[in-house]
């Protein structure tokens, strides 16, 4: 069933089908949060909060974007609230402890998983050094592969602002990458 069909079923009282939506999108939401926050436990907590909030506000989903885009918007808003309440720009921890959770599930060879884990750990380390507003656009654009239009919806920005922020974020990433290499 499509996301739209599942949402429609939930809205007419079949709340049990919401589990399908959660299972379908939970890894994506967690990955966005973990890459943004750099903290495994906080990302798990906010993932759960995101799906609870989405369920409570399901009638507000207008279908102007993909359901996953709407979920990521909720998740990022909750993550920003957490960072603001902690007075921090990230909640970084030792990414090496959990880097394997971000490795693509289709990479089944152990040597390939190790390579991907090391690369993701290096990328996450650079992202953790960046301001949150740059980190989020890079994660959404390059790691989660959202379009500029989808990102503009998630961040409530114009497409032009997303493009400018993405350009500046790439420049900063390149500088940090060069300094760490």
Distance of CA 85 to the CA centre of its chain: 19
Token duo for residue 83 = 């960072």
Domain boundaries, the chain: 1-93
Q: What is the pLDDT of residue 89?
A: 60
Q: What is the pLDDT of residue 119?
A: 72
Token duo for residue 15 = 């709340």
Per-residue pLDDT band for 25 (boundaries 50, 70, 90) equals: very high
Q: What is the pLDDT of residue 116?
A: 63
Give dist(CA 72, CA 61) in Å, integer. Answer: 13
> Residue 96 pLDDT > 50, yes or no?
no
What's the mean pLDDT in 130-145?
91
**Listed range (76-90, 107-121, 137-151) with the worst mean pLDDT:** 107-121
> Residue 14 pLDDT > 90, yes or no?
yes
Of 1-10, 94-103, 123-132, give the range with the top mean pLDDT: 1-10
Task: List Cβ neighbours of 67 (8 Å cut-off, separation of 6 or more).
Answer: 3, 4, 7, 21, 25, 61
Q: What is the pLDDT of residue 110?
A: 53
Q: What is the pLDDT of residue 95?
A: 47
Q: From the DSSP assignment, how many helices (H) and strands (E) are in the chain?
A: 8, 0
Token duo for residue 8 = 């429609």
Token duo for residue 7 = 């949402």
The CATH number that domain 1-93 falls under is 1.10.1740.10
Among 180, 75, 163, residue whose Cα is nearest residue 122: 180
DSSP one-letter string for 98-124: TGGGGS-TT--SHHHHHHHHHHHHHHH
38 SS3 class: coil
Say how many CA atoms lie within 13 Å of 61 toward its Cβ: 26
Q: Give yes or no for a contact between 148 and 162, defined as CB atoms under 8 angstroms apart.
A: yes
């Amino acid at each position: 069933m499509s996301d739209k069909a599942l949402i429609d079923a939930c809205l007419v009282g079949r709340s049990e089908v919401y589990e399908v939506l959660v299972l379908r999108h939970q890894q994506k939401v967690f990955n966005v949060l973990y890459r943004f926050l750099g903290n495994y436990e906080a990302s798990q907590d906010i993932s759960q909060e995101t799906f609870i909030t989405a369920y409570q506000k399901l009638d507000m989903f207008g279908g102007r974007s993909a359901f996953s885009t709407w979920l990521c918007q909720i998740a990022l808003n909750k993550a920003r609230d957490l960072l603001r309440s902690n007075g921090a720009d990230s909640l970084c921890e030792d990414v090496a402890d959990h880097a394997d959770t971000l490795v693509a599930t289709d990479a089944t060879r152990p040597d390939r998983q190790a390579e991907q884990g090391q690369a993701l750990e290096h990328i996450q380390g650079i992202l953790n050094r960046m301001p949150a507003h740059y980190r989020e656009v890079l994660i959404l654009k390059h790691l989660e592969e959202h379009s500029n239009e989808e990102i503009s919806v998630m961040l409530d920005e114009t497409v032009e602002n997303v493009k400018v922020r993405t350009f500046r974020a790439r420049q900063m990433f390149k500088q940090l990458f060069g300094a760490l290499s």
